[in-house]
Amino acid sequence: MSDNILSKTIRDLKHSATEEVDNLVKRMRQEGVDDIVSLGVGEPCFDTPDNIKQAAVEALWAGETKYQPTNGSFELRKEICEKLRKKNHISADVDDIIVTAGGKFGIYLAFQAVLEKGDQVMILDPAWVSYEPGAKMAGADVVRISTNAERGFQPDLEAIRANMNSAVKIVVVNSPCNPTGTVYQRSAIREISQLAKEYGALLLSDEVYEYQIYEGEHYSPASEFDHVITVNAFSKSHAMTGWRLGYVTGPKDVLKGMIKIYQHSTSCVTAFAQHGGIEALQKRKSDQAAMVMLEGYRERRALMIELIKKSNYLELRILPQGAFYCFPSYTLNMPSLDLSQSLLQEAHVATVPGSAFGTCGEGCLRFSYATTLEDIREAFERMEVFFKTHY
């Protein structure tokens, strides 16, 4: 059957580059290629803490297998409110929280609830791969605002102001940023928030990497502004990617619209998984585990930075301040997609091409250091051999 059966919007939609890299690695391993070293996956290398897993197991055996309220269990939403108050200085009632199937689904719901044809979404390039497709699925156009390493990948406030207009309905801010690892300055986020408000736009603050900060400080704009949609998840903070457990808070009208879509799509998040989220927020053991992970990432980050600096073919013009990625440029005269594919096919090292994150990412590769120290060393040894061969 021809793919013309699909809508034009979906036909024109690109696959997620990060998901495709991960899927290709898994397929190659199934086919017998057993020596792949992956720097491509945006997933914690640590397992979910045992106490969180145990809480979900106990809930499962206790019969927590039924439908939950669409916006999430009362107890989990109560814990999220307390976390937002203490850590993010955001005041939210229990009814102002929606528990979602991961942070990504929260963004999808927000876009679907707010956007329509003729609207625009402003994102900072390079940006996570799913913002633009999410906007396009809702019928909106995308305005990409370039950032660059020379300015530390910090937002270009003048360019943002020059491109603001009445069609912009959502401005997306992701700090710490995937793929660059940049932690945006508080003053910059505040100015973007104020500018969005002046034009009647919403600010969507994607804060899923707030636990992975090594330099600088995390700032949640919803602590000061009332037009902010805050998206977060347990995926990175507590190594719960496969649990699909996220949450959103924001203006009440937006949340009401999101609930309508939610009710007619996935209905709710898995019941016993929500008990894992409660344990993650309630217990000191969970906080201690998160800190152990952070120190593990800090060690891996230091090693990767050291190896990039030693390379004759890679340059890291800005050190990552958060998340668990490095975003170096390279000296080979080759598009990043071709380079990434060649590294996987010839050196069996998985990376993500910088072009997947926007035109500003061309000439760069995204390396994840959410893997073992041994794999990081091995990956760089192989890449150096590859670069010498192809330079």
Q: Tell which of 283, 306, 329 closes a domain.
A: 283
Confidence of residue 188 (pLDDT cuts 50, 70, 90): very high
Cα–Cα–Cα angle for 62, 66, 71, rounded to 5 degrees: 115
Mean pLDDT of 184-196: 98
Task: Give phi and psi for 210, each to the nearest 5.
Answer: -65, -25
Confidence of residue 41 (pLDDT cuts 50, 70, 90): confident
Confidence of residue 1 (pLDDT cuts 50, 70, 90): low
Write the pLDDT tens digit of every residue in 14-31. 877 666 777 777 887 888
| pLDDT at residue number 68 | 96
Does 125 have pLDDT greater than 90? yes
DSSP string of 255-271, one letter each residue: HHHHHHHHHTTT-S--H
Alpha helices in 117-270 (DSSP H): 131-137, 157-163, 186-198, 252-263
| 26/121 same-domain check | no
What is d(CA 149, CA 181) in angstroms, rounded to the nearest whole number? 11
| Residue carrying structure tokens 């989990």 | 76
Is 230 within 8 Å of 35 (Cβ atoms)? no
- The CATH number given to whatever domain includes residue 33 is 3.90.1150.10
| 148/194 same-domain check | yes
Does 5 have pLDDT greater than 60? yes
| 34/69 same-domain check | no
Confidence of residue 33 (pLDDT cuts 50, 70, 90): confident
Helix, strand, or coil (residue 150): helix
- Residue 5's Cβ-side half-sphere holds a number of Cα atoms within 13 Å equal to 3
The whole-chain average pLDDT of the chain stands at 95
Alpha helices in 264-335 (DSSP H): 271-282, 284-310
Nearest to 147 by CA among 129, 173, 169: 173
Write the pLDDT tens digit of every residue in 200-225. 999 999 999 999 999 999 999 999 99
Side by side, the strands of the sheet bearing 141-146 are 97-100, 246-249, 228-233, 202-206, 168-174, 120-125, 141-146
Task: Give phi and psi for 353, each to the nearest 5.
Answer: -65, 140
Range of the structural domain that residue 14 is part of: 3-47+287-390
Mean pLDDT of 49-53: 98
| 42/135 same-domain check | no
Q: Tell which of 253, 283, 313 closes a domain.
A: 283
| 43/54 same-domain check | no
Looking at the structure of the chain, the number of domains it has is 2
Q: What is the DSSP pairing of strand 365-368 with strand 325-326?
A: antiparallel
What is d(CA 56, CA 58) in angstroms, rounded to the nearest whole number? 5
| 76/42 same-domain check | no
| 221/339 same-domain check | no
- Please report how the helices 284-310 and 50-61 are oriented relative to each other, as an axis angle in degrees rounded to 10: 130
| 62/73 same-domain check | yes
| pLDDT at residue number 25 | 77
- The CATH number given to whatever domain includes residue 94 is 3.40.640.10
Does 365 have pLDDT greater than 90? yes
| Residue carrying structure tokens 């979602």 | 100
Mean pLDDT of 227-241: 97
Is 151 within 8 Å of 182 (Cβ atoms)? no
What is d(CA 358, CA 145) in angstroms, rounded to the nearest whole number? 10
Query: Measuring CA to CA, how many Å separate 229 from each of 72, 137, 141?
Result: 17, 19, 19
What are the tokens at 249?
């808070």
Confidence of residue 39 (pLDDT cuts 50, 70, 90): very high
Write the pLDDT tens digit of every residue in 268-316. 999 999 999 999 999 999 999 999 999 999 999 999 999 999 999 999 9
Confidence of residue 2 (pLDDT cuts 50, 70, 90): low
Is 238 within 8 Å of 219 (Cβ atoms)? no
| 162/248 same-domain check | yes
| 189/305 same-domain check | no
Q: Tell which of 283, 301, 333 closes a domain.
A: 283
What is d(CA 241, CA 339) in angstroms, rounded to the nearest whole number? 28
Write the pLDDT tens digit of every residue in 162-181. 999 999 999 999 999 999 99
What is d(CA 308, CA 233) in angstroms, rounded to the nearest whole number? 30
| pLDDT at residue number 134 | 96
| 183/240 same-domain check | yes
What is d(CA 79, CA 69) in angstroms, rounded to the nearest whole number? 16
| pLDDT at residue number 13 | 80
| pLDDT at residue number 34 | 83
| 222/304 same-domain check | no
